[in-house]
Structure 1
Amino acid sequence: MKHLFVVLLVVPLMVIAQTDNPFKDEVKSIQKKNDSLWDPSKPTIVFTGSSSIRLWEDVQERFAEHQVLNTGFGGSQFSDLELYLDELILNYRPVKVFIYEGDNDIFAKKRPRKIIERAEQILADLQQRNPNMEIVLISAKPSISRWKYRGRYRRLNRKLDKLASENEKIDFVDVWYPMLDNRKVMQDIFIEDGLHMNDKGYDIWYDVIKDYMD
């Protein structure tokens, strides 16, 4: 009976742990891949965040003059990134990190103000632990499938821009407006789901982000 009680107690705790860390296995896989690619003797630039980063499969090739690591993990929010700052960013001692989060936060109906509060905590932690690292916040992107939330995304982007303007080590790069045509989101820059980008979409990102690489 005692053993049964222990089992009944442990199983729910294991379920809770898995729920609290849904990206644990994915992060381990990302670490394993990037550990095999990383040359500690070279300056490193990390791209991290949700699936728009994870699916940027040729980011290293596009910025071939730099050592770039892609540690994006799909479906993530700022709160998820906060759990893995070491594994996805700090362990690689980057000179610069590009962060794309907020897209899924808004879709999860989090308020922009609350999202910014979490972002501030993350940025403060990163800067305390690696003061020389430059941080670039990538704006939330527009998309066909989430266009009805455009007002919330624009509010979030304004707040991210303001947050970056208050710190000389943080930049904000706007990919929102370059992805619009006559104030409507472009239709030919996404794959079938209307959320994730095709090569045309990433061409836009490259054109905007390249000026922030050096």
Structure 2
Amino acid sequence: MSDAGTLLVTGSSSVRIWNSIHKDLAPYQVMQRGYGGARMADFSYYADRIIKPHQFKAIVIFVANDIAGVESDLTPKEVFRLYKDLVKQVRKRNPATPLCWIEVTPTPKRWNVSQEIQEASGLIETYCNKHDDLHFISTFDQYISPEGLADSTFFKKDMLHLNRDGYLQWAGIIKTYLEEASIEP
């Protein structure tokens, strides 16, 4: 697979366990590089191994473990600072490649910290809106139930990872965004 025509989809376990990613994101050619427990600091540190050896049509990133309702959580401002650091790392090797950030999808398991997650997402979205080569793929509203909570019908029993319907929803959101941003297959 030629890197220049390939979409790199990378990030945490939600990317790693997306078994139908190639089918779901077709006709895009996809290189899938995810690992469980990915956090922004680790991801930025390992950018050389994950992203920089290659040139891609676009890079799509989903990292969702920095605000998880645990003692080691980062603040929204810390997540934003690490996002900007990651952008700098990616830009060293891929200066013109579109960089797309998938908003952290609301999950039932982490609903108790959804306000902090949304705050971090808001900072990243505002930053992306100021840069032509940075893209923010909004997912929040599409995973909210009519009751205003994270919609459990999109998640596996762990209430953290997407099920088949959740991935189909995600794929539709991602492909629609890429098409609207003129990132063609």
| TM > 0.5 | yes
* Corresponding residue of 1:189: 154
Cα distance in structure 2, aligned partners of 1:184 and 1:212: 24
Cα distance in structure 2, aligned partners of 1:193 and 1:161: 28
* Corresponding residue of 2:95: 131
Percent of aligned positions that are identical = 24
* Corresponding residue of 1:149: 113
* Corresponding residue of 2:24: 62
**Offset at residue 64 of structure 1 (A):** 2.5
Query: Letter of the aligned partner of 2:19 in structure 1?
Result: E
TM-score (norm 1): 0.78
Distance 1:135 1:41, change over 3 A: closer
Cα distance in structure 2, aligned partners of 1:63 and 1:142: 21
TM-score (norm 2): 0.89
Q: Say yes or no: does 1:201 pair with 2:163.
A: no
The 5 Å alignment of 1:76-155 reads 76-101=38-63, 103-107=64-68, 108-155=72-119
SS at match of 2:117: helix
Distance 1:56 1:41, change over 3 A: closer
Cα distance in structure 2, aligned partners of 1:178 and 1:196: 15
Residues 43 and 67, structure 1, Cα contact 8 Å, conserved in 2: yes
**Unmatched runs of 5 consecutive residues or more in structure 1:** 1-38
> CA-atom RMSD, angstroms?
1.4
Structure with the bigger percentage of helix: 1
**Offset at residue 126 of structure 1 (A):** 1.2
Q: Say yes or no: does 1:160 pair with 2:121.
A: no
Q: Which has the higher contact order (CA 8 A, sep 6+)?
A: 2
Deviation digits for residues 112-153 of structure 1, max 9, x if unmatched? 101111110110221232112100011011111111111111
**Offset at residue 68 of structure 1 (A):** 0.4
**Offset at residue 187 of structure 1 (A):** 1.6
Query: Letter of the aligned partner of 1:81 in structure 2?
Result: F
